[in-house]
Structure 1
Amino acid sequence: MNSELPNYGLWGLVVLNSAIFIFFAFSFFKPQTKRDWRSFGAFSAFLVALFTEMYGFPLTIYFLSGWLQSQYPDVNWFAHDSGHLLEMLFGWQGSPHFGPFHLLSTVFIGGGFYLIAAGWRTLYAAQKAGKLATTGLYAYVRHPQYVGFVLIMFGFLLQWPTLLTLVMFPVLLWMYSRLSIGEEREAEKTFGEAWRHYANNTPRFFPRLRGLGRQV
Protein backbone atom coordinates (compact mmCIF):
# COMPACT_ATOMS: atom_id res chain seq x y z
CA MET A 1 0.00 0.00 0.00
CA ASN A 2 2.76 2.43 0.92
CA SER A 3 6.28 3.16 -0.29
CA GLU A 4 9.00 2.23 2.20
CA LEU A 5 10.90 5.42 1.42
CA PRO A 6 10.04 8.37 3.66
CA ASN A 7 10.19 10.83 0.73
CA TYR A 8 10.36 13.88 2.98
CA GLY A 9 13.00 16.55 3.33
CA LEU A 10 12.66 17.22 -0.39
CA TRP A 11 12.81 21.00 -0.10
CA GLY A 12 13.54 21.43 -3.78
CA LEU A 13 10.13 19.90 -4.52
CA VAL A 14 8.54 22.20 -1.96
CA VAL A 15 9.94 25.22 -3.79
CA LEU A 16 9.22 23.81 -7.26
CA ASN A 17 5.61 22.80 -6.61
CA SER A 18 4.83 25.99 -4.71
CA ALA A 19 6.29 28.07 -7.54
CA ILE A 20 4.42 26.16 -10.25
CA PHE A 21 1.00 26.39 -8.63
CA ILE A 22 1.47 29.98 -7.49
CA PHE A 23 2.61 31.05 -10.95
CA PHE A 24 -0.26 29.08 -12.52
CA ALA A 25 -2.76 30.87 -10.29
CA PHE A 26 -1.04 34.22 -10.91
CA SER A 27 -1.31 33.78 -14.68
CA PHE A 28 -5.07 33.25 -14.31
CA PHE A 29 -5.85 35.77 -11.57
CA LYS A 30 -3.47 38.61 -12.53
CA PRO A 31 -3.70 40.63 -9.28
CA GLN A 32 -3.71 44.39 -9.75
CA THR A 33 -5.09 46.11 -6.67
CA LYS A 34 -3.87 45.85 -3.06
CA ARG A 35 -6.97 43.79 -2.33
CA ASP A 36 -6.10 41.41 -5.18
CA TRP A 37 -2.59 41.00 -3.82
CA ARG A 38 -3.88 40.28 -0.31
CA SER A 39 -6.20 37.55 -1.54
CA PHE A 40 -3.52 36.08 -3.78
CA GLY A 41 -0.92 36.26 -1.01
CA ALA A 42 -3.17 34.36 1.40
CA PHE A 43 -3.78 31.69 -1.24
CA SER A 44 -0.03 31.43 -1.88
CA ALA A 45 0.65 30.99 1.85
CA PHE A 46 -1.84 28.12 1.90
CA LEU A 47 0.01 26.41 -0.97
CA VAL A 48 3.42 26.86 0.66
CA ALA A 49 2.11 25.38 3.93
CA LEU A 50 0.60 22.48 2.01
CA PHE A 51 3.69 21.58 -0.01
CA THR A 52 5.96 22.02 3.00
CA GLU A 53 4.13 19.15 4.69
CA MET A 54 3.71 17.18 1.49
CA TYR A 55 7.42 17.10 0.62
CA GLY A 56 9.37 18.82 3.38
CA PHE A 57 8.41 17.98 6.94
CA PRO A 58 5.22 15.99 7.74
CA LEU A 59 4.26 17.91 10.87
CA THR A 60 0.71 16.55 10.92
CA ILE A 61 1.91 12.94 10.72
CA TYR A 62 4.42 13.51 13.52
CA PHE A 63 1.82 15.22 15.68
CA LEU A 64 -0.75 12.45 15.18
CA SER A 65 1.69 9.55 14.86
CA GLY A 66 0.91 8.03 18.27
CA TRP A 67 -2.83 7.90 17.66
CA LEU A 68 -2.48 6.85 14.03
CA GLN A 69 -0.08 4.01 14.82
CA SER A 70 -2.30 2.71 17.62
CA GLN A 71 -5.43 2.79 15.46
CA TYR A 72 -3.84 1.62 12.20
CA PRO A 73 -0.77 -0.47 13.16
CA ASP A 74 -0.39 -1.98 9.69
CA VAL A 75 0.20 1.37 7.98
CA ASN A 76 3.68 2.85 7.61
CA TRP A 77 2.66 6.41 8.45
CA PHE A 78 6.00 7.89 7.47
CA ALA A 79 5.82 6.57 3.92
CA HIS A 80 4.98 9.41 1.57
CA ASP A 81 1.74 7.87 0.27
CA SER A 82 0.38 7.80 3.81
CA GLY A 83 0.08 11.58 3.68
CA HIS A 84 -3.12 10.94 1.73
CA LEU A 85 -4.80 10.62 5.09
CA LEU A 86 -8.37 10.19 3.92
CA GLU A 87 -7.51 7.25 1.67
CA MET A 88 -5.53 5.67 4.49
CA LEU A 89 -8.17 6.23 7.16
CA PHE A 90 -10.92 4.77 4.98
CA GLY A 91 -8.84 1.71 4.08
CA TRP A 92 -8.22 2.35 0.39
CA GLN A 93 -6.16 -0.61 -0.83
CA GLY A 94 -4.77 0.71 -4.12
CA SER A 95 -2.54 3.63 -4.96
CA PRO A 96 -3.85 6.71 -3.13
CA HIS A 97 -3.32 8.71 -6.32
CA PHE A 98 -6.26 6.78 -7.76
CA GLY A 99 -8.30 6.84 -4.58
CA PRO A 100 -11.74 8.48 -4.47
CA PHE A 101 -10.67 11.50 -2.42
CA HIS A 102 -7.65 12.17 -4.60
CA LEU A 103 -9.69 11.93 -7.80
CA LEU A 104 -12.40 14.17 -6.33
CA SER A 105 -9.75 16.65 -5.30
CA THR A 106 -8.56 16.84 -8.91
CA VAL A 107 -12.08 17.82 -9.97
CA PHE A 108 -12.25 20.60 -7.38
CA ILE A 109 -8.76 21.89 -8.20
CA GLY A 110 -9.38 21.86 -11.95
CA GLY A 111 -12.78 23.49 -11.50
CA GLY A 112 -11.27 26.15 -9.28
CA PHE A 113 -8.62 27.10 -11.83
CA TYR A 114 -11.32 27.23 -14.51
CA LEU A 115 -13.41 29.65 -12.44
CA ILE A 116 -10.41 31.90 -11.82
CA ALA A 117 -9.42 31.95 -15.50
CA ALA A 118 -12.92 32.37 -16.93
CA GLY A 119 -13.83 34.96 -14.32
CA TRP A 120 -10.74 37.00 -15.11
CA ARG A 121 -11.53 37.11 -18.85
CA THR A 122 -15.01 38.47 -18.16
CA LEU A 123 -13.80 40.92 -15.52
CA TYR A 124 -10.95 42.21 -17.69
CA ALA A 125 -13.25 42.83 -20.64
CA ALA A 126 -15.73 44.67 -18.42
CA GLN A 127 -13.03 46.80 -16.80
CA LYS A 128 -11.58 47.67 -20.18
CA ALA A 129 -15.02 48.85 -21.33
CA GLY A 130 -15.67 50.68 -18.06
CA LYS A 131 -18.68 48.48 -17.35
CA LEU A 132 -19.92 46.28 -14.54
CA ALA A 133 -19.10 42.60 -15.05
CA THR A 134 -22.46 40.81 -15.25
CA THR A 135 -21.99 38.19 -17.97
CA GLY A 136 -20.33 34.78 -18.10
CA LEU A 137 -19.71 33.42 -14.63
CA TYR A 138 -20.67 36.80 -13.20
CA ALA A 139 -24.23 36.10 -14.29
CA TYR A 140 -24.41 33.38 -11.63
CA VAL A 141 -22.28 34.65 -8.74
CA ARG A 142 -20.75 38.02 -7.90
CA HIS A 143 -17.30 36.65 -7.02
CA PRO A 144 -16.44 33.60 -9.18
CA GLN A 145 -12.71 34.05 -8.71
CA TYR A 146 -12.94 33.86 -4.94
CA VAL A 147 -15.09 30.77 -5.34
CA GLY A 148 -12.33 29.36 -7.54
CA PHE A 149 -9.67 29.93 -4.86
CA VAL A 150 -11.85 28.21 -2.27
CA LEU A 151 -12.47 25.21 -4.53
CA ILE A 152 -8.73 24.78 -5.12
CA MET A 153 -7.95 24.93 -1.42
CA PHE A 154 -10.76 22.51 -0.60
CA GLY A 155 -9.49 20.15 -3.29
CA PHE A 156 -6.02 20.15 -1.77
CA LEU A 157 -7.52 19.49 1.66
CA LEU A 158 -9.19 16.38 0.25
CA GLN A 159 -5.95 15.29 -1.35
CA TRP A 160 -3.50 16.02 1.46
CA PRO A 161 -5.12 17.30 4.68
CA THR A 162 -2.83 18.87 7.26
CA LEU A 163 -3.51 20.50 10.60
CA LEU A 164 -2.09 23.84 9.48
CA THR A 165 -4.10 24.07 6.25
CA LEU A 166 -7.23 22.92 8.10
CA VAL A 167 -6.74 25.86 10.45
CA MET A 168 -5.96 28.25 7.59
CA PHE A 169 -8.97 27.26 5.51
CA PRO A 170 -11.76 28.85 7.63
CA VAL A 171 -9.56 31.91 8.21
CA LEU A 172 -9.18 32.33 4.46
CA LEU A 173 -12.92 31.85 3.96
CA TRP A 174 -13.51 34.71 6.37
CA MET A 175 -10.86 36.81 4.64
CA TYR A 176 -12.36 36.30 1.17
CA SER A 177 -15.79 37.15 2.54
CA ARG A 178 -14.48 40.43 3.96
CA LEU A 179 -12.59 41.25 0.77
CA SER A 180 -15.71 40.63 -1.31
CA ILE A 181 -17.73 43.01 0.85
CA GLY A 182 -15.08 45.70 0.40
CA GLU A 183 -15.12 45.21 -3.36
CA GLU A 184 -18.89 45.47 -3.43
CA ARG A 185 -18.86 48.78 -1.58
CA GLU A 186 -16.49 50.20 -4.15
CA ALA A 187 -18.57 48.81 -7.01
CA GLU A 188 -21.71 50.39 -5.59
CA LYS A 189 -19.98 53.78 -5.41
CA THR A 190 -18.87 53.43 -9.02
CA PHE A 191 -21.95 51.92 -10.67
CA GLY A 192 -24.74 52.96 -8.31
CA GLU A 193 -28.17 51.64 -9.26
CA ALA A 194 -26.77 49.24 -11.85
CA TRP A 195 -24.77 47.55 -9.11
CA ARG A 196 -27.70 47.41 -6.71
CA HIS A 197 -29.89 45.80 -9.37
CA TYR A 198 -27.16 43.27 -10.15
CA ALA A 199 -26.51 42.49 -6.47
CA ASN A 200 -30.23 42.02 -5.78
CA ASN A 201 -30.48 39.43 -8.53
CA THR A 202 -27.13 37.64 -8.28
CA PRO A 203 -25.86 35.67 -5.25
CA ARG A 204 -22.47 36.48 -3.80
CA PHE A 205 -20.94 32.98 -3.81
CA PHE A 206 -23.55 30.25 -4.30
CA PRO A 207 -25.49 30.23 -7.59
CA ARG A 208 -29.21 29.64 -7.59
CA LEU A 209 -29.84 26.26 -9.20
CA ARG A 210 -32.97 27.55 -10.93
CA GLY A 211 -30.97 30.30 -12.57
CA LEU A 212 -28.09 28.29 -14.02
CA GLY A 213 -29.33 28.87 -17.55
CA ARG A 214 -29.80 32.59 -17.03
CA GLN A 215 -27.57 35.36 -18.28
CA VAL A 216 -27.81 38.82 -16.72
Structure 2
Amino acid sequence: MQEPQAYGLWSLVILNSVLFIFFAFSFFKPNTARDWRSFGAFSAFLVALFTEMYGFPLTIYVLSGWLQSRYPGVDWFSHDAGHLLETLFGWKANPHFGPFHIISALFIGGGFWLISAAWRVLYNAQRTGELATTGPYRSVRHPQYAGFVLVMFGFLLEWPTILTLAMFPVLVFMYWRLARSEEKDTLAAFGEPYAAYTRVTPAFLPKLTRRDRGADTALGRS
Protein backbone atom coordinates (compact mmCIF):
# COMPACT_ATOMS: atom_id res chain seq x y z
CA MET A 1 0.00 0.00 0.00
CA GLN A 2 1.19 3.50 -0.80
CA GLU A 3 2.10 5.55 2.28
CA PRO A 4 0.19 8.82 2.73
CA GLN A 5 1.94 11.99 1.62
CA ALA A 6 3.87 13.61 4.48
CA TYR A 7 4.31 17.13 3.04
CA GLY A 8 2.82 19.37 0.40
CA LEU A 9 -0.43 19.36 2.37
CA TRP A 10 -1.12 23.06 1.98
CA SER A 11 -4.76 22.71 2.92
CA LEU A 12 -3.60 21.49 6.36
CA VAL A 13 -1.18 24.41 6.59
CA ILE A 14 -4.06 26.84 6.03
CA LEU A 15 -6.51 24.94 8.22
CA ASN A 16 -4.17 24.64 11.22
CA SER A 17 -2.91 28.20 10.89
CA VAL A 18 -6.44 29.62 10.78
CA LEU A 19 -7.62 27.33 13.58
CA PHE A 20 -4.83 28.18 16.04
CA ILE A 21 -4.78 31.88 15.14
CA PHE A 22 -8.53 32.09 15.70
CA PHE A 23 -8.13 30.08 18.92
CA ALA A 24 -5.48 32.53 20.15
CA PHE A 25 -7.64 35.47 19.05
CA SER A 26 -10.56 34.18 21.14
CA PHE A 27 -8.25 34.03 24.18
CA PHE A 28 -6.39 37.31 23.64
CA LYS A 29 -8.93 39.64 21.96
CA PRO A 30 -6.52 42.39 20.81
CA ASN A 31 -7.81 45.95 21.02
CA THR A 32 -4.89 48.38 20.83
CA ALA A 33 -2.19 48.75 18.16
CA ARG A 34 0.24 47.24 20.66
CA ASP A 35 -2.05 44.23 21.10
CA TRP A 36 -2.27 43.72 17.34
CA ARG A 37 1.53 43.87 16.96
CA SER A 38 2.04 41.16 19.56
CA PHE A 39 -0.76 39.04 18.12
CA GLY A 40 0.52 39.50 14.57
CA ALA A 41 4.01 38.34 15.51
CA PHE A 42 2.57 35.28 17.24
CA SER A 43 0.45 34.54 14.15
CA ALA A 44 3.55 34.74 11.92
CA PHE A 45 5.26 32.20 14.17
CA LEU A 46 2.30 29.81 13.78
CA VAL A 47 2.23 30.16 9.99
CA ALA A 48 5.97 29.44 9.78
CA LEU A 49 5.53 26.43 12.06
CA PHE A 50 2.66 24.82 10.16
CA THR A 51 4.28 25.54 6.80
CA GLU A 52 7.16 23.27 7.79
CA MET A 53 4.94 20.81 9.61
CA TYR A 54 2.69 20.10 6.63
CA GLY A 55 3.87 22.11 3.64
CA PHE A 56 7.61 22.23 2.91
CA PRO A 57 10.13 20.69 5.39
CA LEU A 58 12.86 23.31 4.98
CA THR A 59 14.70 22.27 8.14
CA ILE A 60 14.82 18.61 7.07
CA TYR A 61 16.15 19.60 3.63
CA VAL A 62 18.85 21.82 5.12
CA LEU A 63 19.94 19.20 7.66
CA SER A 64 19.27 16.12 5.52
CA GLY A 65 22.94 15.34 4.84
CA TRP A 66 23.91 15.44 8.52
CA LEU A 67 20.77 13.64 9.65
CA GLN A 68 21.11 10.84 7.10
CA SER A 69 24.77 10.28 7.99
CA ARG A 70 24.09 10.19 11.74
CA TYR A 71 20.79 8.29 11.58
CA PRO A 72 20.88 6.23 8.36
CA GLY A 73 17.92 4.04 9.32
CA VAL A 74 15.44 6.91 9.61
CA ASP A 75 13.14 8.03 6.81
CA TRP A 76 13.59 11.74 7.45
CA PHE A 77 10.90 12.75 5.01
CA SER A 78 8.21 10.82 6.85
CA HIS A 79 5.92 12.95 8.96
CA ASP A 80 6.81 11.23 12.25
CA ALA A 81 10.50 12.01 11.76
CA GLY A 82 9.62 15.70 11.72
CA HIS A 83 9.25 15.44 15.50
CA LEU A 84 13.01 15.95 15.62
CA LEU A 85 13.57 15.80 19.37
CA GLU A 86 11.66 12.54 19.73
CA THR A 87 13.58 11.03 16.80
CA LEU A 88 17.03 12.30 17.80
CA PHE A 89 16.62 10.98 21.35
CA GLY A 90 15.64 7.55 20.06
CA TRP A 91 11.92 7.43 20.82
CA LYS A 92 10.75 4.38 18.84
CA ALA A 93 7.00 4.53 19.41
CA ASN A 94 4.46 7.01 18.07
CA PRO A 95 6.04 10.47 18.61
CA HIS A 96 2.67 11.91 19.60
CA PHE A 97 2.98 9.93 22.83
CA GLY A 98 6.64 10.76 23.38
CA PRO A 99 7.95 12.77 26.35
CA PHE A 100 8.72 15.94 24.36
CA HIS A 101 5.28 15.93 22.77
CA ILE A 102 3.56 15.51 26.14
CA ILE A 103 5.63 18.30 27.72
CA SER A 104 4.87 20.41 24.66
CA ALA A 105 1.13 19.96 25.17
CA LEU A 106 1.47 21.09 28.79
CA PHE A 107 3.31 24.27 27.78
CA ILE A 108 0.84 25.05 24.98
CA GLY A 109 -2.23 24.38 27.11
CA GLY A 110 -0.78 26.30 30.06
CA GLY A 111 0.11 29.24 27.83
CA PHE A 112 -3.37 29.51 26.36
CA TRP A 113 -4.91 29.22 29.82
CA LEU A 114 -2.66 32.02 31.10
CA ILE A 115 -3.57 34.28 28.16
CA SER A 116 -7.29 33.66 28.72
CA ALA A 117 -7.21 34.10 32.50
CA ALA A 118 -5.17 37.30 32.22
CA TRP A 119 -7.46 38.78 29.58
CA ARG A 120 -10.53 38.42 31.82
CA VAL A 121 -8.77 40.25 34.67
CA LEU A 122 -7.42 42.96 32.36
CA TYR A 123 -10.80 43.49 30.69
CA ASN A 124 -12.56 44.00 34.03
CA ALA A 125 -9.80 46.34 35.23
CA GLN A 126 -9.94 48.46 32.08
CA ARG A 127 -13.73 48.64 32.29
CA THR A 128 -13.57 50.01 35.85
CA GLY A 129 -10.47 52.14 35.30
CA GLU A 130 -8.42 50.21 37.86
CA LEU A 131 -5.07 48.44 37.85
CA ALA A 132 -5.04 44.74 36.97
CA THR A 133 -3.36 43.18 40.02
CA THR A 134 -5.40 40.04 40.69
CA GLY A 135 -5.46 36.56 39.16
CA PRO A 136 -2.34 35.97 37.05
CA TYR A 137 -1.40 39.63 37.52
CA ARG A 138 -0.81 38.86 41.17
CA SER A 139 2.24 36.76 40.19
CA VAL A 140 3.59 38.57 37.11
CA ARG A 141 3.03 41.94 35.50
CA HIS A 142 2.70 40.64 31.93
CA PRO A 143 0.97 37.25 32.02
CA GLN A 144 -0.39 37.48 28.48
CA TYR A 145 3.04 38.01 26.95
CA ALA A 146 4.36 35.21 29.16
CA GLY A 147 1.52 33.02 27.87
CA PHE A 148 2.50 33.65 24.25
CA VAL A 149 6.10 32.70 25.04
CA LEU A 150 4.95 29.47 26.73
CA VAL A 151 2.85 28.51 23.70
CA MET A 152 5.72 29.18 21.27
CA PHE A 153 8.18 27.26 23.44
CA GLY A 154 5.74 24.34 23.55
CA PHE A 155 5.53 24.26 19.76
CA LEU A 156 9.33 24.36 19.55
CA LEU A 157 9.49 21.21 21.68
CA GLU A 158 6.92 19.52 19.47
CA TRP A 159 8.26 20.54 16.06
CA PRO A 160 11.54 22.53 16.10
CA THR A 161 12.52 24.24 12.85
CA ILE A 162 15.35 26.54 11.86
CA LEU A 163 12.96 29.39 11.11
CA THR A 164 10.91 29.17 14.31
CA LEU A 165 14.07 28.75 16.40
CA ALA A 166 15.39 31.95 14.82
CA MET A 167 12.07 33.74 15.34
CA PHE A 168 11.68 32.73 18.98
CA PRO A 169 14.35 34.98 20.59
CA VAL A 170 13.34 37.85 18.31
CA LEU A 171 9.71 37.54 19.42
CA VAL A 172 10.69 37.24 23.08
CA PHE A 173 12.70 40.46 22.74
CA MET A 174 9.76 42.12 20.97
CA TYR A 175 7.41 41.16 23.82
CA TRP A 176 9.93 42.54 26.30
CA ARG A 177 10.04 45.84 24.39
CA LEU A 178 6.25 45.97 24.21
CA ALA A 179 6.04 45.28 27.95
CA ARG A 180 8.47 48.11 28.71
CA SER A 181 6.45 50.51 26.56
CA GLU A 182 3.23 49.35 28.19
CA GLU A 183 4.68 49.92 31.65
CA LYS A 184 5.66 53.51 30.82
CA ASP A 185 2.09 54.25 29.71
CA THR A 186 0.60 52.59 32.79
CA LEU A 187 2.98 54.40 35.13
CA ALA A 188 1.99 57.71 33.55
CA ALA A 189 -1.69 56.86 34.04
CA PHE A 190 -1.60 55.45 37.60
CA GLY A 191 1.59 56.85 39.15
CA GLU A 192 2.69 55.55 42.56
CA PRO A 193 0.13 52.69 42.87
CA TYR A 194 1.60 51.12 39.74
CA ALA A 195 5.16 51.86 40.86
CA ALA A 196 4.39 50.04 44.13
CA TYR A 197 2.97 47.12 42.15
CA THR A 198 6.12 46.85 40.01
CA ARG A 199 8.32 46.79 43.12
CA VAL A 200 6.67 43.63 44.46
CA THR A 201 5.61 41.87 41.25
CA PRO A 202 8.12 40.49 38.71
CA ALA A 203 7.62 41.14 35.00
CA PHE A 204 7.47 37.63 33.53
CA LEU A 205 8.75 34.93 35.91
CA PRO A 206 6.87 34.50 39.20
CA LYS A 207 8.84 34.46 42.41
CA LEU A 208 9.28 31.10 44.09
CA THR A 209 8.99 32.63 47.54
CA ARG A 210 5.62 33.48 49.03
CA ARG A 211 4.62 37.13 48.80
CA ASP A 212 4.52 39.14 52.01
CA ARG A 213 0.90 39.85 52.97
CA GLY A 214 1.93 43.44 53.64
CA ALA A 215 2.59 43.88 49.93
CA ASP A 216 -0.92 42.75 49.08
CA THR A 217 -2.36 45.09 51.69
CA ALA A 218 -0.40 48.00 50.20
CA LEU A 219 -1.90 47.19 46.80
CA GLY A 220 -5.44 47.07 48.17
CA ARG A 221 -5.79 43.28 48.02
CA SER A 222 -6.85 40.84 50.71
Please say whether Structure 1 and Structure 2 have the same fold, judged by a TM-score greater than 0.5: yes
| Corresponding position of 2:90 | 91
| Corresponding position of 1:114 | 113
Higher alpha-carbon deviation: 70-79 or 4-13: 4-13
CA distance in 2, matches of 1:77, 1:6: 13
The question of 1:177 aligning with 2:193 is answered no
| Corresponding position of 1:124 | 123
| Corresponding position of 2:16 | 17
**What do the CA deviations read for 1:31-90 (whole angstroms, capped 9, x no partner)?**
000000000000000000000000000000000000000000000000011000000000
State TM-score, norm by structure 1.
Answer: 0.96
CA distance in 2, matches of 1:94, 1:137: 37
1:119 partner letter = A
For these two proteins, the number of residue pairs brought into alignment is: 214
CA distance in 1, matches of 2:84, 2:207: 33
Q: Tell me, which stretches of 5 or more residues in structure 1 are unaligned?
A: none
| Corresponding position of 2:56 | 57
Per the alignment, do residues 119 and 213 of structure 1 end up closer, same or farther by CA in structure 2, a change over 3 Å counting? Answer: farther
Q: Match of 2:209, SS?
A: helix
Q: 1:5: Cα distance to partner?
A: 3.9
CA distance in 2, matches of 1:131, 1:34: 21
**What do the CA deviations read for 1:89-110 (whole angstroms, capped 9, x no partner)?**
0000100000000000000000
Per the alignment, do residues 14 and 212 of structure 1 end up closer, same or farther by CA in structure 2, a change over 3 Å counting? Answer: farther
1:45 partner letter = A
2:62 partner letter = F
Q: Tell me, which stretches of 5 or more residues in structure 2 are unaligned?
A: none
| Corresponding position of 1:102 | 101
1:51 partner letter = F
Maintained 8 Å contact 1:76/1:82: yes
Q: 1:7: Cα distance to partner?
A: 1.3
CA distance in 2, matches of 1:79, 1:116: 34
CA distance in 2, matches of 1:189, 1:131: 14
State TM-score, norm by structure 2.
Answer: 0.94
CA distance in 1, matches of 2:182, 2:131: 12
Q: 1:212: Cα distance to partner?
A: 6.7
Q: Note the aligned Cα RMSD (angstroms).
A: 1.4
1:90 partner letter = F
Percent identical = 68
The structure with higher relative contact order (CA 8 Å, sep 6+) is: 1
Maintained 8 Å contact 1:140/1:211: no
